[in-house]
Structure 1
Amino acid sequence: MTAPSSRIPAMDVLRGCAVMGILWMNIAAFALPEQAYFSPAAAGPLSTGDITFWTVSFLLVDGKMRALFSMLFGASMLLLIDREEMAGRDGRQAQMIRAAWLFLFGLAHYLLLWWGDILMIYALVGLAALLFVRMEPLALVKWAFFFFLAHFLVCAGFIGTLYAWGHAAAAPDGASHVSAGFANFIASLSDPAHPAIRSEYMTYRGGYGGIFLHHVALFGEQWLTTLPFVLFDTLGFMLLGMAMLKGGFLTGRWQAEQYWRTARHCFLIGLIPMAALAVWIISGRFAALATLGSVLAWSFPFRIPLAVGWAALILWLFTRHRDGAFTARIAAVGRLALSNYLGSSLVMCAIFYGWGLGLFGHVPPRVMPLFVAAAWAVMLVWSPLWQRRFALGPAEWLWRSLARRQTQKIRNSD
């Protein structure tokens, strides 16, 4: 295996693509109320361009880039542990310390900037993943699919309770408070005039203090309750990433034709049923339960092959263009993934929130790709420029310095 102290260019490229792809999906959560992230009808009437943006996101991006990032996080854990142990240190302890600091980074990100943070989840799930680091690839894959099943059952069970609630609300002898409660829940996902959605507009078009207090309240009221919907799939993809590293897949060592065949098969398996779900949702005019159920549960089994397919497709391109200038730029984005992730949040919040330009709710989905493309261009320019002078990104440097309890080298010339 490649020496754990060295960079693995293939993984840097994958990580760069993942952090850029995550922004494509997150842009709606920066620019619109939280409800619109799960059900676009919550933001109001949808044009053909808006539906096209949603369709592309649903088919190709939603959950797939986060899954890819999770696979890379799991693989990177193995590399960190190996590197620490080769240096005579305790690899598991080093990972636990890094996870503690990552959780604090994520908490600050959540409270100070944006409610969609994933760093806290990675920190917690990464601790659980430590239990599996010594396993062989086949065992890791089996456990990964066990957790995938657990995730699907949790999400499908939740959606099932909503359908049961709707059935009880529609019953002729149903209690009025049941009907009213269900109608209010559906409206909170699909009616832009609903008080919860209007409150989101008021909050994020307001000043920084109000947004901060809103995030504090969200963390206390909502964050823990959403964990069951993200813990198991994240752990599954981390374990899958470990298996893919041990099998040489993530290091770019496979033949180009092997990557191409894997990508082709995975996209064929995943895209056809995903397209059927998209047609069902669109033809149903984004009915709240159909949309939420598809996003949370029904699309998940197909998200797994699509995430692997994306990894294989990117690595196929990498094997064919590993020395290309554009490949080097994407790798630089990946080496600064934490800085780019947090920097994207800072820039997007400054664009959309009231303490910045105040564009929250004013940019329709069909226009959002322009903001994403501009952010990608910035990442592809600043990342290699920064790396010419500095060995670590600013966030990476701070994280490593805190985890090792001493200031780390940052300038290349030092």
Structure 2
Amino acid sequence: MTTADPTAPSMRLPEVGRIAQIDALRGFAVLGVFWIGVGAFGLPYGANALPTLLGTASPLNLALWASTEVYMEGAVRGVFSMLFGASALIYLDEARLARDGVALVDRFYRRNLILMVFGLIHAYLLLWPHDVLYAYGLLGLFLFPLRRLPALALFLIGVVLQGVADLTIEWPAVIDWLRGLPESPDLAAAVSGAGADPAEAARFLGWLRLQLEQDIQTYRSGYLTLFAAQAAEVAAQESTVFYQRHGYEIGGMMLIGMALYRWGVLSGQRPAALYWLLALLGFGVGGWLRGADVYQAYRLGFDPLILAGLAQGDLDLGRLPVALGHVGLIGLLCRWGRAAWLTGALAATGRLALTHYITQTVIGITLFYGFGFALFGRLERWQLALIFLAVAAFQVLFSLLWLRRFRYGPLEWVWRSLTDGHLRPLRVAAGPNTAT
């Protein structure tokens, strides 16, 4: 790879105010979210946690599961969260604040409140309990007073918050998840990985299979059945789970993203050596932390009790290094002239990230749920990977064609128009584009 000047025109999109590397990172992140999401849409929860529970344990299926656990799970959401923090600083540029004053602050808060509404619609009406828009909008309300903190302070606070999120992981929560089982000290010991015996293992595996069958029956049902089944989970995700874990994890990543933007890392203004360092150390350290547990699960034959008792903290400690590894990799690709076709496609996709994120859910529930094609629980991991590739190719192509004529994605335009209180110009001919 060759080193390029990050201020050169090739490092920025033709439209005024857009940063190519940030858009490319966002495009990678939104496609990565669906790589994880297609498994969540298409497989019961137990089958995602225990890869031998459903389908064949072929080398390809296990490789897809392992690579997702090590390099994608949580990390792509981390990249997405970093970019949201960076976008807050771009929106709250000091020059714009000096010019627009309280009007810009008003738009910033309205922007986040509208995003929360989008998240509620996405989670409840579109049946996606793992929505992040609500959390982003809520946490975004707290970013304005933090915008002037030194970059190092933002980074360190973000790292501390990541640690706090990891400390909230306690395996007694798994016992609550197993609330369908009679409570007993022996069961609690088994789930924690201590004192397990074959009878307990068989009992636990039987319960997992029963839950799998119930999930299949539920998700192959009609819309109203699914809405009723998911409403309580959505409420928990956006209240209890948010305050116990996601608020720290996502909020911490936002602050780290603000620091990385301040340092010029996300915008491609640092030397190529730094991006090599992020990629090598990030994937190396994160892969080692996360890969250890994945290898242990494989070595022990995916014993369900032992798998439940593994040190999941390693997976979470590896989340930030792997996310930084992705930042480094995309940073290097943006500097490599031969990869311009790829980074350009990712950048176009990133400009429609909100539209694609919601569209992925619409495609997912249509393909897998009972009121659509009812493919839930019917496909192997490699088949789900093919669906991902087809959807990703469609979204990239759509982005490239759409942006030939329009300045924003459809939902991006709605979001910005509601934020401004008037309809923004949509066609490219109407004027230059901006990053806000």
The question of a shared fold, defined as TM-score above 0.5 by the shorter chain, is answered with yes
Match of 1:147 in 2: 161
**Cα distance, 1:222 vs structure 2:** 5.3
**Cα distance, 1:207 vs structure 2:** 1.6
Please give the per-residue CA displacement for 1:137-165, whole angstroms capped at 9, x wherever unaligned.
11111111210111111114756988xx9
Match of 1:313 among 323, 329, 332: 329
**Cα distance, 1:254 vs structure 2:** 1.5
Residues 60, 382 of structure 2: 8 Å contact kept: yes
Percent identity (aligned) = 31
Match of 1:169 in 2: 186
* Higher mean displacement: 385-394 or 363-372: 363-372
Residues 282, 321 of structure 2: 8 Å contact kept: yes
> 3-state DSSP class of the match of 1:389?
coil
- What is the CA–CA distance in structure 2 between the aligned matches of 1:383 and 1:331, rounded to whole Å? 9
Please give the per-residue CA displacement for 1:238-283, whole angstroms capped at 9, x wherever unaligned.
0000000000000111222321122112222221232221111122
**Cα distance, 1:313 vs structure 2:** 1.0
1:136 and 2:145 correspond: no
**Cα distance, 1:47 vs structure 2:** 3.3
**Cα distance, 1:298 vs structure 2:** 2.6
Match of 2:179 in 1: none
Residues 41, 190 of structure 1: 8 Å contact kept: no
Residues 135, 238 of structure 2: 8 Å contact kept: no
1:47 and 2:64 correspond: no
Distance 1:322 1:107, change over 3 A: farther
**Cα distance, 1:5 vs structure 2:** 7.1
- What is the CA–CA distance in structure 2 between the aligned matches of 1:240 and 1:63, rounded to whole Å? 15
Distance 1:297 1:127, change over 3 A: farther
Distance 1:218 1:159, change over 3 A: closer
Distance 1:158 1:169, change over 3 A: closer
Match of 2:19 among 4, 8, 30: 8
Q: Where does 1:43-82 land on structure 2 (aligned, <5 Å)? A: 43=54, 46-82=57-93
| TM-score (normalised: structure 2) | 0.84
Match of 1:127 in 2: 141
Match of 1:214 among 229, 241, 250: 229
Note the residue ranges of structure 1 that are not aligned, 5 or more in a row: 173-178
Match of 1:364, as an amino acid?
Answer: E
| TM-score (normalised: structure 1) | 0.88
* Higher mean displacement: 386-395 or 227-236: 227-236
Q: Aligned pair count?
A: 402
* Higher mean displacement: 369-378 or 121-130: 121-130
Residues 207, 355 of structure 1: 8 Å contact kept: yes
Match of 2:121, as an amino acid?
Answer: A
* Higher mean displacement: 223-232 or 236-245: 223-232
- What is the CA–CA distance in structure 2 between the aligned matches of 1:126 and 1:116, rounded to whole Å? 18
- What is the CA–CA distance in structure 2 between the aligned matches of 1:343 and 1:75, rounded to whole Å? 24
Q: Where does 1:229-378 land on structure 2 (aligned, <5 Å)? A: 229-288=245-304, 290-292=306-308, 297-321=313-337, 324-378=340-394
**Cα distance, 1:343 vs structure 2:** 0.8
Residues 29, 36 of structure 1: 8 Å contact kept: no
Residues 100, 123 of structure 1: 8 Å contact kept: yes
Please give the per-residue CA displacement for 1:337-358, whole angstroms capped at 9, x wherever unaligned.
0011111111121111111111
Residues 52, 366 of structure 1: 8 Å contact kept: no
1:224 and 2:276 correspond: no
Distance 1:322 1:76, change over 3 A: farther
- What is the CA–CA distance in structure 1 between the aligned matches of 2:174 and 2:226, rounded to whole Å? 33
**Cα distance, 1:398 vs structure 2:** 0.8
> 3-state DSSP class of the match of 2:298?
helix
1:109 and 2:129 correspond: no
Please give the per-residue CA displacement for 1:168-199, whole angstroms capped at 9, x wherever unaligned.
32699xxxxxx9xxx79x84x874532x4333
Match of 1:388 in 2: 404
Match of 1:214, as an amino acid?
Answer: A
Distance 1:372 1:323, change over 3 A: closer
Match of 2:100 in 1: 88
- What is the CA–CA distance in structure 2 between the aligned matches of 1:35 and 1:106, rounded to whole Å? 25
**Cα distance, 1:408 vs structure 2:** 1.4
Match of 1:360, as an amino acid?
Answer: F
- What is the CA–CA distance in structure 1 between the aligned matches of 2:361 and 2:119, rounded to whole Å? 12
- What is the CA–CA distance in structure 2 between the aligned matches of 1:154 and 1:130, rounded to whole Å? 27
Please give the per-residue CA displacement for 1:33-59, whole angstroms capped at 9, x wherever unaligned.
234344435546633332111101011
* Higher mean displacement: 278-287 or 375-384: 278-287
> 3-state DSSP class of the match of 2:373?
coil
Distance 1:171 1:135, change over 3 A: closer
Match of 2:132 in 1: 118
**Cα distance, 1:331 vs structure 2:** 0.5
Note the residue ranges of structure 2 that are not aligned, 5 or more in a row: 1-5, 177-181, 190-195, 431-436
CA RMSD, Structure 1 to Structure 2 (Å): 3.1
Distance 1:6 1:158, change over 3 A: farther
Please give the per-residue CA displacement for 1:361-382, whole angstroms capped at 9, x wherever unaligned.
1011232111111111111100
More helix per residue: 1
1:399 and 2:412 correspond: no
> 3-state DSSP class of the match of 1:7?
coil
